[in-house]
Amino acid sequence: MIIDCHTHLNQYAYLKDIPSLEERVEKLLLTMASHNVDYSIVLSSYLVDEQRPSTAHLIEATKRHENLGIVAGFSIEHHTDDDLRNYRSWIKDGSVKGLKIYAGYEPHYPYETGYQKAYDLCVEFGVPVMIHTGDTFTEKGKLKYSHPLNIDELAVDNPELKIVMCHLGNPWIEDCQEVVYKNENVWADMSGFSVGKFDHFFERIMVEKVAELINYVGEPRYLLYGTDWPISDMDSYLSFVAKLKLKREFRDRLMYKNAKELFKI
Ligand SMILES: [Zn+2]
């Protein structure tokens, strides 16, 4: 079984233009089927505009498909208490499986008090918050907010909050591995290492870095398979995982067991 815990249905200008959300859903389902991916989590953005569908729109467009789940983007600047009330009812009825914070894209540290309401909601229902860490896709992002070490502060002050560090904090993977090792309430997803396919040389470096992280952290409870599709290519990601040469038990935890437990799939 394979669960991809990190995909998007936004419209990306540099990718082939697919204007309708419904067609993008179909494309995701077809891509999953051709890569034997059984379930995907789709992340909504912190912004809503023509390229970025709202969480409500995503729920509507995916509700017929039992193999898709939604994690709702939360913005410290744009979301109101009304939005959080909607998130609460969607988390309650299972249409939303967690929240996502876009640290770095938004110039706010993940431990700022403006996010606390969102975190309290996650704790109340036992769902995770995913947090962007590491490089930002745009030059306008601010890296001090997305550095993985910020997650330590949040994790220590909110021991009941389940936190997923997205992208292993790349390129600060060493910092990510320490935060995950030290804090039992922190997971990490390996999504978004490449735009499109992996370049051969870069893939070799990343295999070494991820192997080092696995070796350092030891137990397999924390690592989650995710691609960042359509930004990263599903095919490349599967061959990347194959190159890690994981033992069966660790591979199963990475590819689906950890995500199944964490997101209650
Ligand atoms: Zn992403």
- In DSSP notation, 33-75 reads HHTT--EEEEE--SS-SSSS--HHHHHHHHTT-TTEEEEEEE-
Cα distance between residue 112 and residue 106, in whole Å: 12
Query: What pTM was estimated for this model as a whole?
Result: 0.96
Cα distance between residue 223 and residue 177, in whole Å: 10
Cα distance between residue 73 and residue 131, in whole Å: 10
What is the CA(53)–ligand 1 centre distance, in A? Answer: 14
User: Are 28 and 65 within 8 A, CB to CB?
Assistant: no
A 10 A CB-CB count for 89 gives: 10
> CB under 8 Å to 141, separation ≥6 — which residues?
104, 105, 135
User: Are 155 and 163 within 8 A, CB to CB?
Assistant: yes
Q: What is the DSSP string of 191-242?
A: --SSSBSPPHHHHHHHHHHHHHHHHHH-SSSSEE----BTTB-HHHHHHHHH
What is the CA(45)–ligand 1 centre distance, in A? Answer: 9
Structure tokens at 248: 């069966």
What is the enclosing helix (H) or strand (E) of 243?
helix 234-243
Q: Name the residue range of residue 135's domain.
A: 3-262
Which CATH number goes with the domain that contains 82?
A: 3.20.20.140
- Tracing tokens 């600060």 back to the chain, one arrives at 172
What is the CA(229)–ligand 1 centre distance, in A? Answer: 8
Cα distance between residue 260 and residue 265, in whole Å: 5
Give the model's pLDDT for residue 14: 73
User: Are 147 and 108 within 8 A, CB to CB?
Assistant: no
What is the CA(41)–ligand 1 centre distance, in A? Answer: 11
User: Are 34 and 233 within 8 A, CB to CB?
Assistant: no
What is the CA(146)–ligand 1 centre distance, in A? Answer: 13
Ligand 1 (single-atom ion) residues, CB below 5 Å = 228
Number of domains, the chain: 1
User: What's the length of the chain?
Assistant: 265
Structure tokens at 237: 């990601």
Alpha carbon 251 to chain centroid, angstroms = 18
What is the CA(134)–ligand 1 centre distance, in A? Answer: 11
What is the CA(164)–ligand 1 centre distance, in A? Answer: 12
Give the model's pLDDT for residue 137: 87
Give the model's pLDDT for residue 16: 74
Structure tokens at 167: 């992208």
User: Are 48 and 263 within 8 A, CB to CB?
Assistant: no
Per-residue pLDDT of the chain (265 residues; tens, 9 = 90+): 999 999 999 998 777 778 899 999 999 999 999 999 999 999 999 999 989 999 999 999 999 999 999 999 999 999 999 999 999 999 999 999 999 999 999 999 999 999 999 999 999 999 999 999 999 989 999 999 999 999 999 999 999 999 999 999 999 999 999 999 999 999 999 999 998 999 999 999 999 999 999 999 998 899 999 999 999 999 999 999 999 999 999 999 999 999 999 999 9
User: Are 103 and 131 within 8 A, CB to CB?
Assistant: yes
β-sheet bridge partners, residue 6? none
Give the model's pLDDT for residue 13: 76
